[in-house]
Amino acid sequence: MRSALILVAAVAVAAPDFDREVRPLIEKRCVACHGPKNAMHGLRLDTVEGALRGGESGVPAIIPGKSAESLLIRYVAGQDKEIVMPPAGPRLTTAEVDLLRAWIDGERARPKVEVRKGADHWSFQPVRKPEPPPVRRSGWVRNPIDAFVLAKLEARGWEPSPAGTPGQLLRRAHLDLTGLPPSLAEQDAFARDPDLGRLVADLLGRASYGERWGRHWLDLVRYAESNGYERDGHKPEAHKYRDYVIRVFNQDKPFDRFIAEQLAGDELDEVTAETLIATGYYRLGPWDDEPADPAEDRFDQLDDLVSTTSQVFLGLTLGCARCHNHKFDPLTAQDYYSMVAVFNGLERPRRGRTELTLPVGNTSEIARERERDRLLQTHAAVAAVQAAGVGSPGAEVLAEIAAIKSRQPDLPRGYFLHEPHGKTPVTNLLVRGKASRPGPEVPPAVPAVLVREQPVFPTEGTRTSMRRLALARWLASRDNPLTARVIVNRVWQFHFGEGLVRTPSDFGTLGQPPTHPELLDWLASWFVENGWSFKKLHQLILESNTWRMSKQSREPQATEDPENRLLWRFPYRRLEAEAIRDSMLVVSGRLNPRMYGPSMFPEVPEAALEGSSDPDKIWKMSDEAERSRRTVYAFLKRSLIVPMLEVLDLCDTARTSAQRLTTSVAPQALTLFNGDFVNAQARYFAARLRREAGDDPARQVELAYRLAVARPPTQAERARMIRFLGQQSLEQMTRVILNLNEFVYPD
């Protein structure tokens, strides 16, 4: 168990005696508001411990040896315009203030130990790899996952649901790993050889896997291509970060390396264009290009980085400690601002309200471009002088400028923050989170409850502060109890709809405990031992009988565990908006498989544009071929989400999104039955049926079901649809099939 004890003060020096000299003054002037009965704002001054701990703001009232930085002196000496203490009665005399100063400057006598409430919480303890438990039905166990799940079922006297049919598992695997339904050829091949392990390996090797799983990561890192706020300006080159993420998943880049590139791609030993683009992670959030209070806005931007990073990688709501110590978790304002100190050197390249991009390449390439730009500036200055003197620059100067540009063209550009200086600004703990009220200086550090000893953060570096690299290495270290647990829980969630911890970005005391804690720790250990490989983790999960179960309900499980916390069946879950739209494009035969590059602009109804002050410019719809690309390549504008995606529960792009809502509302039915996109795909679907099945209604119905839901129709469905075609057009039938519940569920 990690120690919950934190040493606050140590060495003894001469100082005014607290009990004999200081306490009488505090009891006379402070204890009425800050004593055991009231303790306003959580602050007690009747004990040294209370003064050292501070109140709700997380700022100590006294800093031993530093009276000039102590809030108590700041307030009683009238140094703060907003807060003067005591609030009523006469002010403290100069002699009284000097007494407090002398006490604080000498108060190092008493070692104080504070117990952080909640430090014994399960998620703050080291990861252990338990042995899979013994089970009676050992034949059901394909790998350790099954043993952990089955043991809990057997403890209740329950049995798991039977396996899904080969057809169900085929469609489930395709949509799970690639977000696309299986083709006719793939259905026929699996019918001949229903080897699910071989199928999973094949799907993991496809480019569509990265498009599917990259989108999950983009939800977490609040990806969008505009800034939000009033002008909602475009983020230039932001799509390159999206393409980087897709490639990461397809390459099966180890997760520890993925962390390092995103948090510190410019601080690695080998900097490349790819690692610089990866740091676009920091710049994806909303940005106000005309803030009312620039100083406050600067800390709002840093708050976005701290809050996002702590939730995504640690599963902690550290952002709650910006204005005061966390109300529920053992996280302090000191912890929060120590993380701010890690990111405080980052700056946004811009010129006024215009965002700028930066060159991407390796270190030597960027250095050469900078030298080239210096030469060009020199020649341009000479040309300007010549033009001012004789009316036009000399031919030799113009020729040299052209030659320099020809020898070394511009590097590609990227969208990311940067540290232009190796020395990071001083970071202060802000009282009540206000930039106008700086408190004591804080060094870079990670939350104290998670470590026995803080990682080493450099004081300064040559190119950057190198602090973010230290953070990235700690995040992926075995000493960190959270990172591996959090990411394997996310992967589990995307396969099963719910994580083993059902609050995937809150592993704190208010989060839900894991339904299978031993399985969570076993998976976290296994993941690290197997090179932080996502693809190996997918194979492990899909190899299990737990994933292969059907959705069949049974009693008493359905009554006693309606939320399926013990995993007695495979869960029902609707496809996300992207998978629904992409499936329609596949079935209609119109999917454009082109990958990467600038985003496309899908169809948006005119009514959705009418509220804009500039409807002709806000959305330039792409041509139909471009619009038929996968939805992951759709432009995401924060002030104008494509209505079809929004109504089908696209995530909130303003902040990290760990889990999408799944709603059932009338506009979804209207969109899927009457929307322009769906009706267009229904027409293309009908045209495909005529091409491939001819004019025979029975063959058309058979082909339609196989394409849409990867199975032939039942006799009743076939008869019903043939009767329907006797009264309605083929286009109406295909529209009905695209609206089947079965179409928007994996199986």
Q: Which of 492, 559, 562 is nearest to 526 (CA)?
A: 492
Run of H or E residues at 388:
helix 363-390
d(CA 569, CA 558): 10
pLDDT band at 107 (very low <50, low <70, confident <90, very high): low
The string of pLDDT tens digits covering residues 703-737 is 999 999 999 999 999 999 999 999 999 999 999 99
Greater confidence (610 vs 668) lies with 668
Run of H or E residues at 354:
strand 354-355
What is the average per-residue pLDDT within 348-361?
94
- Predicted confidence at residue 296, as pLDDT, reads 95
d(CA 735, CA 682): 5
The string of pLDDT tens digits covering residues 283-316 is 999 999 999 999 999 999 999 999 999 999 999 9
What is the average per-residue pLDDT within 239-263?
98
Q: What is the mean pLDDT of the chain?
A: 91
What crossing angle do the helices spanning 363-390 and 395-407 adopt, rounded to 10°? 170
Instruction: Assess contact for 430 and 337: CB atoms under 8 A.
Output: yes
Greater confidence (48 vs 8) lies with 48
pLDDT band at 14 (very low <50, low <70, confident <90, very high): low
- Predicted confidence at residue 249, as pLDDT, reads 98
The string of pLDDT tens digits covering residues 130-175 is 999 999 999 999 999 999 999 999 999 999 999 999 999 999 999 9
Percent with pLDDT over 90 in the chain: 73
d(CA 54, CA 43): 6
- Predicted confidence at residue 387, as pLDDT, reads 74
pLDDT band at 65 (very low <50, low <70, confident <90, very high): confident
pLDDT band at 536 (very low <50, low <70, confident <90, very high): very high
Greater confidence (48 vs 434) lies with 434
Model confidence at 7: pLDDT above 90 = no
What is the average per-residue pLDDT within 88-95?
83
- Predicted confidence at residue 79, as pLDDT, reads 82
What crossing angle do the helices spanning 676-693 and 730-738 adopt, rounded to 10°? 120
- Predicted confidence at residue 3, as pLDDT, reads 40
The string of pLDDT tens digits covering residues 402-443 is 888 888 899 999 999 999 877 788 999 998 899 999 999 999
pLDDT band at 112 (very low <50, low <70, confident <90, very high): very low
- Predicted confidence at residue 109, as pLDDT, reads 37
